[in-house]
Homo-oligomer: A and B are copies of this chain.
Amino acid sequence: MPELRQDIITGEWVVIATERSKRPESFTARAEVGPDDRTNCPFCYGHEAMTPPEIMAYSEEERKPNTSGWKVRVVPNKFPAFSPEGVLKEFEYGIYRAMTGIGSHEVIIHSPDHLKDLDQLSVEQIDLVLSVYRERYLALSTVEEYKYILIIVNHGPRAGASLRHPHSQLFAIPMVPHLLETEISGAERYFREHGKCVYCQMVSFEMKERVRMVAENDRFVVLEPYASQSPFETWIIPKNHLSNFEEITDSDKRALTGILKGILKNIADNLGDPPYNYYLHTSPLHQRDLQHWHWHLEILPRLTIRAGFELGSRLIINVTTP
Contact = CB atoms under 8 A, between A and B. Distances in A.
B308 A17 contact: no
Contacts of A272: none
A314 to B, nearest CB: 4
A177 interface: yes
Interface stretch (A5-13, A62-70, A285-293): A5-13
A29 interface: yes
A123 B6 CA distance: 42
B81 A309 contact: yes
B95 A205 contact: yes
Interface residues of A, number: 95
A160 interface: yes
A154 interface: yes
Contacts of A5: 96-98
Copies of this protein in the complex: 2
Contact of A209 (B94, B98, B309): B94
A170 to B, nearest CB: 10
Among A83, A95, A154: residue with most chain B CB under 10 A = A95
A166 interface: no
Among A8, A80, A159, A313: residue with most chain B CB under 10 A = A313
A1 B154 contact: no
A91 B224 CA distance: 20
A96 B10 CA distance: 12
Contact of A298 (B15, B41, B312): B312
B100 A308 contact: no
Nearest to A148: B313
Interface string A254-296: 0000000000000000000000011111000000000000000
A4 B99 contact: yes
Nearest to A36: B26
18 contacts: A2-B83, A4-B100, A6-B98, A12-B178, A17-B101, A20-B81, A22-B79, A26-B37, A27-B32, A28-B34, A81-B317, A95-B202, A95-B205, A159-B305, A169-B308, A171-B313, A173-B315, A178-B313
Interface of A: 1-6, 8, 12-13, 15-17, 19-29, 32-35, 37, 40-41, 78-83, 85-86, 93-101, 103, 150, 152-154, 157-164, 169, 171, 173-175, 177-180, 182, 201-202, 205, 209, 226-227, 277-281, 298, 300, 305-315, 317
Q: Which 6 A-B pairs have the closest CB atoms?
A: A160-B307, A279-B312, A2-B101, A152-B308, A27-B157, A177-B313
